[in-house]
Each structure stands twice: as structure tokens, then as C-alpha cells.
Amino acid sequence: MDDETLSRILKAAGDTTRRRILTLLVQEGALRVTALAAHFDMSLNSVSKHIKVLEEAGLVTRRTVGREHFIAAELEPLKVTEAWFGDLKSIWELRLEALEELLVAKDDDNAPTGNARSGTARNGTA
Amino acid sequence: MDDETLSRILKAAGDTTRRRILTLLVQEGALRVTALAAHFDMSLNSVSKHIKVLEEAGLVTRRTVGREHFIAAELEPLKVTEAWFGDLKSIWELRLEALEELLVAKDDDNAPTGNARSGTARNGTA
DNA sequence: AATATATTCAACCATAAGGGTGAATGAATG
DNA sequence: CATTCATTCACCCTTATGGTTGAATATATT
């Protein structure tokens, strides 16, 4: 997955209006631009621009039928993003496990202060 | 959870440099500002500012000891954010289930086109 | 053909974001 | 006490963002 893509997704999701749009689409299915705009105290144009941002991030797709544009949420980017956060958590937990092992191994040498979470790695704790 | 908070977290995570900082911290534990900056082709000042953004989003905490500031990743906001994406997926799946039920119920009336995913709700498909 | 509807495009404005530099602050060290 | 080191603060610049309005485009409707 492109790092640039992830940035676009997160930036798109970083705006309240856009998150609300996404939520609306997810719970109500595809909606027209006007229908979406009706939910917001904001010009239709602005909503249209927000949709464009979501579209460029791949969070939303557009199906044009006649003069009406139906906007639908896209599930895949959500998974990808969730995965990034999940990976980060995994690395974290792996490192914590390693730390704990170290502490347990040293247990008879010097009694550690406990609390592996604040007593961080080779750099952190003085 | 505050919506504003979520926005700050996602905006903070939306920048590549900041994601790299987070990753570094998660895999190496707490690091000094200078140590972090060494990884980037960018002024120390800029990195310092990125750290501040992460800090304001709660993604990172600072422990100052003497003249050195140790920056550590914070796990909790990651969970919250992951949860937001997860919730969205859940709503999505719930709605799809409901749609499938509808389709199955109508099965003898008129043979549907199948494909519940593109044939969206009451608004979408013409 | 004329008009109304749905949507985008273009230009504009204010403010935020991301980067840089130089000075200021605070702590260690000779 | 002067100096070096670690970091932030203040200011500047350029570009992006979120919002506005008015015009343009494309499709329906009468």
C-alpha cells in the first residue's frame, strides 16, 4: 500500500463533515449529492468538494445516472487504514513482550522498578 | 469520545513524517527529539513541530528530564481511532445483512439481479 | 425551444499547515 | 561564569484547506 494513499485517506477522514458524510453513506447506502448536502448547514458546493476529497481518497465512489450522481461508501480503504493502526499496536505489543522478557531474565541481578510501560527501552529511562 | 479529538488524531496521523515518527517510537521506545530528528531530512525545528502536533493529538507524551525531552508513543488514541473505523465497518455489514434479507424475502416476486453490494438501498439503484 | 434541476468549475478569501531561519531559554559542563 | 548542548519560540514564506458566490455544463421536463 502506498504511503501517499494512506495519507490521503487519513486526511480525508480527518474532517468532521467528511466523516459524517461517510457515516451517512454507510448507514443509508448510496445518496445523491443534494441528499447528502441536505444534512449540512453549508452550501451544496462545499459538500460537493468534500465528496471530491473523499472520492480522491478512494473512500467513496460515484455512479452517475443522468444528471444525478450517486455517492457510495467504499469499504476497502477502511480496512487498509484500520490495518495500519493495528500493525502499529502489534509492533508495540511485540516490543513490550521483549522488554518483559529482558526484565524477567535480569530478575535476580537487580530488582527492577516494575512497570514496563513507563520504563521504556534502552533510550528512555535514565 | 470527542469528535474534535478524533479529528485531531486523524489529522496528526495524516502526515507521513508524523506516521514515521510514531512508528519509530513504537518500535524503539521513547526517543529524544534530536534522536528522532536524525531520521529525517528536515530541520530539527520542523521535527519538533511535528512532535508537538502528535502531542496535542495525544498520540505521544513527553517526559522532560533535564534538558532532554523523551517522547513516547501513546497506545490509547490508536485504539479509539481503530474503533471508529471498525464501527463504520460494522454499520456497513449490518445494513448489508438487512438488504440481503429484503432481497431473499422478495425472491419469488421478481428475480433480483443478485449482487447486493452494487444494488444499493432505497435511494441508489434506479 | 425554453426552462428548471443537478452538479461541477472557477475565482476568491481567510486561515491553517508544513517547511525554513535566527534568537531565546534552560540545563549541563569546562 | 562562560560555553556548549537540547529544545522551543517567534517570524517568514509558500501551499493547501474549507468555505463562499456566480457562472458553466448537462440532463429532464414542459
Cα gap A60→B17, rounded to integer Å: 26
Q: With a 7 Å cutoff on the CB, does B33 touch strand D?
A: yes
- In sequence order, the 6+-apart residues with CB closer than 8 A to the CB of B39 are B20, B24
Q: How far is the CA of A22 from the C1' of D23 (A)?
A: 30
State chain B's mean pLDDT as an integer. 86
The single-letter DSSP state of residue A76 is H
Whether residue B111 has pLDDT greater than 80: no
The per-residue pLDDT for range B42-95, each reduced to its tens digit, is 999 999 999 999 999 999 999 999 999 999 999 899 888 988 998 999 999 998
Q: What is the pLDDT of residue B76?
A: 92
Lowest mean pLDDT segment, chosen from A55-59, B3-7, B15-19, B81-85: B81-85
Q: What is the pLDDT of residue A122?
A: 41
Whether residue B9 has pLDDT greater than 90: yes
Asked if B95 is an interface residue toward chain A (Cβ–Cβ < 8 A), one would say yes
Whether residue B108 has pLDDT greater than 90: no
User: Which parts of chain A sit beneath pLDDT 50?
Assistant: 111-126
Q: Give residue limits of the domains in chain B.
A: 3-74, 75-126
Q: Is-contact B20 B59, C-beta < 8 A? A: no
Of A3, A63, A125, the CB nearest to B16: A3
State chain A's mean pLDDT as an integer. 86
Q: What is the pLDDT of residue A67?
A: 97
Whether residue B113 has pLDDT greater than 90: no
Q: Is-contact A99 A116, C-beta < 8 A? A: yes
Q: What is the pLDDT of residue A104?
A: 85
Question: Is domain A3-74 given the CATH code 3.30.565.10 in the classification?
Answer: no
Q: Is-contact A74 A41, C-beta < 8 A? A: no
